[in-house]
Amino acid sequence: IFDKILNIEPNNVIALNNKGIALVRLGNYSDAITSFDEILSIDLKNSQALKNRNFAFKKINMEPTSNSKYLVHVQIQVRNIHGTLISVTESNSIKYLSHPLTDEYLDSIPLKGTMLIGENMYEKREIMTKYTPEEDTFIGSTRLVSNKFGDNIIVFSTLNHGYTVERGDTVTALWTLLRIVDT
């Protein structure tokens, strides 16, 4: 029904939004995001489309980076309020958002170079994130997020060994992101 309306009025924001909502309910999140993107190409500040788009992104299942075009490693350092190193955790058991936004996010990080691993050439990017909790807390996962459309959308995530941090501690995550170069 929505496509019939859109054939007559391709820029009908209400029909595009309702189509996207219907696609979300059917579990077709990528097509729903495309529908919301069409609204945003017409009206970049459409709050309903932004809200619905971000909701659809959060429904997309994260895929393991193993057997993908990505190799990702994260090292997590915790330092106390005085700068003393408390713990270091590392992981390459990472999941990623299987959507073009992940590549857009990577493209926004400066290229550090390329490297050959086996028969594949990879682009190398690095990013560091820091977090200082305002209260004592437990951390069980580390994430890289895109806030391209005003809401945090997880593009890479790892479930690491949990650790507690105290107010004033600093958690630094050093991410190394490799992506196969298309030939």
Domains of the chain: 2-60 (1.25.40.10), 63-180 (no CATH)
What percent of the chain is predicted at pLDDT more than 90?
41
pLDDT at 115 over 70: yes
pLDDT at residue 62 above 70? yes
pLDDT recorded at residue 103: 92
- Reply yes or no on whether the pLDDT at 41 is more than 90: no
pLDDT in tens, 120-132: 999 999 999 999 9
Given a cut of 70, whether residue 150 has pLDDT beyond it is: no
Half-sphere exposure of 99 (CA within 13 A, CB side): 24
Whether 34 has a pLDDT exceeding 90, the answer reads no
User: Between 161 and 114, whose confidence is greater?
Assistant: 114
Considering 5-9, 97-101, 130-134, the range whose residues carry the highest mean pLDDT is 130-134
Tell me what the pLDDT averaged over the chain comes to. 88
pLDDT at 111 over 90: yes
Q: What is the mean pLDDT of residues 92-105?
A: 89
Q: What is the mean pLDDT of residues 143-172?
A: 84
2 and 32 Cβ atoms separated by less than 8 Å: no
Q: Which of 76, 73, 78 is nearest to 94 (CA)?
A: 73
Token pair 């959308």: residue: 153
